[in-house]
Chains A and B, each alone.
Chain A
Amino acid sequence: MDDPAYGVCTCRGKKRRGLVETLVFGLIGAENHSLEAETTSGLQGVLQGFDPRIKVVALLTLIIAAVSTQRLTVLAMMFALATGLAVISKIRIVRLFRQVWLGVLVFSGIIVLPAVFIVPGEAIAHLPVVGWAITLQGVRSAAFVIGRAETAATLSLLLVLTTPWPHVLKALSSLGVPAAVVAVLGMTYRYIFVLMQSALQMAEARQSRLIGPLDGPARRALMMTMIGTLLSKTLALGSDVHAAMVARGYRGEVRLLDDFRTKPADWVFLLAALGIAATIIGARL
């Protein structure tokens, strides 16, 4: 009842964000993520220099290899490889830690922590006081989940941080993804930021008109009104964009330019990634 709808307030000595402010921070965070990705994709790193098509296939292959491995040592090597690729691509470790490693560790850690006690197997230690047995199988299982999640998330982020989104889309098109799907993906990405701006403006406009805290039902009504208004704006935007496209000659056929050229280094990178994946999956490592 005392929670504000906006602003950082001191409530019983604890600083808390209001709902609208949480939304504003989330929207700004997503926009910042996009801007930072565009910045890092322009750096002169190793991954930035590879052909986007090769990069998409190679990194996806490495992700599948990381998810497929059955040995923790191999998983650790894959994680080291992902980290090494980040370093030679001028992606700062602090950034990876902040953006991926910490979040995945906390999220997956909470989920798999009980597994070290629950998964039956050989007891390797006991928890003080309560005496619960920590099993080898439980620890290995938790390590597998966290290791795979960290490695795959790092490789996924490397793709985004070293490749402009339009190039990722062009690469998908070159790899056989239907042009209409690629076009929708590209436009969706663009309009996410348009709608985010719209949501941001709505949130700020509402925030500037509030003079006191709102109770729970009022805050729910505020959020639902914003979502409803955003939906109306979305559908109106869809009609406007469609009319603009038709006015420019769009007749339902999507054509995308594909001007990528591969270099020998691209093929070396691809062969290396495929070799690693084939070894891990083929030898059941």
Chain B
Amino acid sequence: MHIPDGYLSPSTCAATFAMAAPFWYVASRKVKSRLHTKLVPLMAVVSAFSFVVMMFNLPLPGGTTGHAVGLAIAAIVLGPWAAVLSISIALLIQAVFFGDGGITAIGANCLNMAIVGPFVAYFVYQALAGRSELTSVRRVVAAGVAGYVGINAAALLAAIEFGIQPMLFHDATGAPLYAPYPLAIAVPAMMAGHLAIAGIAEAVAGAGLVAVLQRTEPELLDLTASHPATAGRWRETRALWFGLGLIMLLSPLGLLAAGTAWGEWGAADFADPAVRQEIAAASGNVAPPEGIPAGLERLSSVWSAPIPDYAPSFLKNEHLGYILSAVMGSGLVLLVFAGIGALRDRRSPTV
């Protein structure tokens, strides 16, 4: 998948370089903010690892062999942003020093294999692995699928880069100046090899490495598992969820309570003689003011509750109204805390 010089036009190379540049910038900022002085040495050795791992030929089911790019491995262990940097540096050294991939195509190769591939692999892995335990088989499967999907996403992008060349660049005789095959040929030709061989190599590498790390150093898988469920998060919290549900169902018990809640009076309550008697009884027989207090009257119109007195207007049954109000109120509280959690995660993103 390393695109050599001469297959892509200079303008395509420039465009892919421009697309990759912001990712490099953001990645360097994010990684540096997390690693500080460790950035240079860690990136150097991990880039060297990315380089060396591409030299491992893996035996694949069916008797053939293939080498993995290692994009899923890097994304799963280090996170997508660190993977962007380490694979980009490995690709740069491959292109300049070992002639594997073109120097002018370095932007395209990095966009395909160091940016799109790792990000796709990372999100697929996170989606499939979920909050499973670090040592679960689910993570092995997720890593394999992530590698397979990630490398094929990168291959598809490379095929599109190849396929648009003959549409855009011809010489005077009409001969394509760069990669000669249109999308209708480039995409199936590229994808056949990657779906059948390279994707399987990447899947074997991703799944195999996660399986090895689960046995030897599972803590390395913890770096990108933002919410690892080493003891099972559901098991830890399920009693609370059941308790919350039970309380919601019991919420209509509040209807059994007589009288008014002291201090929770509305402006209209001061005009209602029956309620005035209750207010006086609840206040040690001290009569409430004759009129509605001015401040209470002014502020009472500022906000009108959408579901006053826990009784939705569309529900006739007040018990069901209480339960629905409990569900909605709890849901809103959970949403607020989920939002706060998301904000916190954004401030300390995964590298």
Please report A residues at the B interface, Cβ cutoff 8 Å.
Answer: 3, 19, 22-23, 26-27, 30, 33-34, 37, 60, 63-64, 66-68, 70-71, 99-100, 104, 107-108, 112, 114-115, 118-119, 121-122, 136-138, 140-142, 144-149, 151-153, 156-157, 159-160, 165, 168, 180, 183-192, 194-196, 199, 216, 219-221, 223-232, 234-235, 237-239, 241-242, 245-246, 250-252, 254
Contact = CB atoms under 8 A, between A and B. Distances in A.
Contacts of A195: 45, 48-49, 51-52
Given A149-B102, A250-B37, 20 more contacts: A22-B57, A70-B171, A70-B172, A119-B175, A137-B176, A140-B171, A144-B176, A145-B178, A152-B6, A184-B39, A187-B45, A188-B48, A188-B51, A190-B48, A228-B208, A229-B216, A234-B46, A237-B45, A238-B38, A252-B37
Given A188-B44, A192-B93, A121 B216 contact: no
A61 B90 CA distance: 23
Chain B interface size, under 10 / 10 to 19 / 20 to 34 / 35 or more? 35 or more
Contact of A252 (B10, B36, B53): B36
A224 B178 CA distance: 38
A121 B172 CA distance: 12
Nearest to B169: A70
Majority SS of interface residues in chain B?
Answer: helix
Contact of A242 (B37, B63, B174, B209): B37
Interface stretch (B179-187, B262-270, B305-313, B314-322): B179-187
A121 B208 contact: no
A187 B48 CA distance: 9
B58 interface: yes
A110 B201 CA distance: 22
A23 B92 contact: no
Contacts of B90: 188
B96 interface: yes
A141 B216 contact: no
Chain B CB count within 10 A is highest, among A246, A252, A254, for A252
B12 to A, nearest CB: 10
A182 to B, nearest CB: 10
B43 interface: yes
B5 A224 contact: no
19 contacts: A19-B57, A19-B59, A66-B5, A115-B176, A118-B181, A137-B175, A138-B180, A140-B171, A140-B173, A145-B178, A152-B4, A180-B28, A184-B39, A184-B44, A189-B48, A192-B93, A199-B52, A223-B208, A252-B40
B220 interface: yes
Contacts of B89: 184-185, 188
B61 interface: yes
A192 B48 CA distance: 5
Interface string B66-108: 0000000100010000000100011011011111001110000
